[in-house]
Amino acid sequence: MSVPTPISSGKSGKANWSFFGRQGGISKKPFDSLNVADHVKDNESDVLKNREILAEHLAMPLVFIGATHSPNVVNVKSEFPEVHPDTDALVTRETNLGLVIMSADCAPIVLVDPIAHVVGVVHAGWQGMLVGVVANAVEGMFDLGAEPENLKAIIGPTISAKNFIATQERFDEVKDIEPSAAVKLADGQLAVDIRKGVKHQLAQYQIKTTDLNICTFDSSDLFSFRRDPVTGRNATVAWLSE
């Protein structure tokens, strides 16, 4: 077992974030090794141990989304409950409390306002993007005092459009609600560009956005559901230091 090492980390004021990949846990193949999801048929005790390893590495309690592709956002005020079911975004003003989302192709988004001391995390796949989870999370940040001019968004490892070929039905469904995410590739194939759609939705609030431009499908260091249908989930964590 190796130590969890972020794919990327950042800090702005008291706001901190880290995007983790496969390495640093105890799960066996095909969930090797830092799988933090308990809904993918991994050994439950291994998942719990991985969550414990991550919490110890970050030296703070962690709170997880349920990851159901919902529009639901929770304002987290303590580490209990540890998991918020039917929730895909978390926001908080609490310090030393890690907000965690799980993803394996969907866009993991960190929201920070370093002035108001508010952080949030969003799990936005094509479904979440269509039902409004991004906008709801931004509004949740505003409810805690975040200001549009100070709000920053960081988009972590997400599947690229070239690896997300879509059926005509899915393409049309996306195009009807978020046209920017329905794209045609150079070879004429229909695809969904989650990053593009998420950026468009964040732009409606004039939010400064940074895209790590890392594709989950193309990186062996990351879990990808479309590459490996039986696989784990990457962890994205955001928190406020004191």
Total residue length of the chain = 242
- What is the Cα–Cα distance from 242 to 76, expressed in whole angstroms? 17
- What is the Cα–Cα distance from 162 to 150, expressed in whole angstroms? 33
Q: Which domains does the chain have, with CATH numbers?
A: 6-156+213-240 (3.60.140.10)
Report the percentage of the chain scoring pLDDT > 70. Answer: 100
pLDDT of residue 1: 62
Q: Which of 31, 143, 142, 129 is nearest to 88 (CA)?
A: 129
Residue ranges of the chain with per-residue pLDDT less than 70 = 1
Strand 182-184 and strand 6-12: the pairing is: unpaired
- Classify the phi-psi angles of 79: left when phi > 0, otherwise alpha if psi is within -120 to 50, otherwise beta: alpha
Contacts of 17 (CB under 8 A, 6+ apart): 9, 10, 11, 110, 112, 119, 154, 236, 237, 238, 239
For 67-134, give the DSSP string: --S---EEE--SS-SSEETT--EEEE--BS-EEEEEESSSEEEEEEETTTTEEEEEEE-HHHHHHTHH
pLDDT of residue 2: 79
pTM score, whole prediction = 0.97
- pLDDT tens, residue by residue, 94-151: 999 999 999 999 999 999 999 999 999 999 999 999 999 999 999 999 999 999 999 9
